[in-house]
Amino acid sequence: MARVLLGEFAALVRAGLLSLLAEERAQVVQAADQDVPAWVAQGRPDVVVLDLDGGHVGALARYLCERYPAVTVVACSSSRPAMRVFPPFHHGESYTRPLDPEALRALVRG
């Protein structure tokens, strides 16, 4: 079972993400964005999902990738169908791709 930390999202987007993660039987913890680093340090999730539209997401994702290289960081947009992936196997480099529920499921499955 994947451990997922879900950052701040608009209610409708959060509900959709929670539904998708429930289908994958992921263990989900929700946290305010400012609390994400502390939650990652405590719980060592497999995946962190952040809102790409948050102004500080890039810096937070880079920090998490540098400090916790085993954690995959995904930033999904609340306003457009896109997600940015900060996987450790890219050494902190990120790439943006269309938001696809199957792609997010695959990241959660590992």
Distance of CA 22 to the CA centre of its chain: 15
Q: Residue 51's CB: how many other CB atoms inside 10 A?
A: 21
Q: At what angle do helices 101-109 and 11-23 cross, to 10 degrees?
A: 50
pTM of the model: 0.85
Give residues with Cβ within 8 angstroms of 82, minimum separation 6. Answer: 52, 76, 96, 97, 98, 99
Decide which of 3.30.110.60, 3.90.79.10, 3.40.50.2300, 3.30.429.10 is the CATH code for 3-109: 3.40.50.2300
Segment 43-87, tens digit of pLDDT: 889 999 998 887 788 888 889 988 998 898 888 887 777 777 775
Q: How confident is the model at residue 92 (pLDDT cuts 50, 70, 90)?
A: very low
Give the CA-trace dihedral at 7, 62, 103, 33, to 10 degrees.
Answer: 0
Instruction: Look at 19-23, 36-40, 54-58, 74-78 and tell me which has the smallest mean pLDDT.
Output: 54-58
Give residues with Cβ within 8 angstroms of 35, minimum separation 6. Answer: none
Which residues does residue 6 pair with via DSSP β-bridges, in sequence order?
30, 49
In this model, does residue 91 exceed pLDDT 60? no
Give residues with Cβ within 8 angstroms of 95, minimum separation 6. Answer: 84, 85
Domain segments of the chain as ranges: 3-109
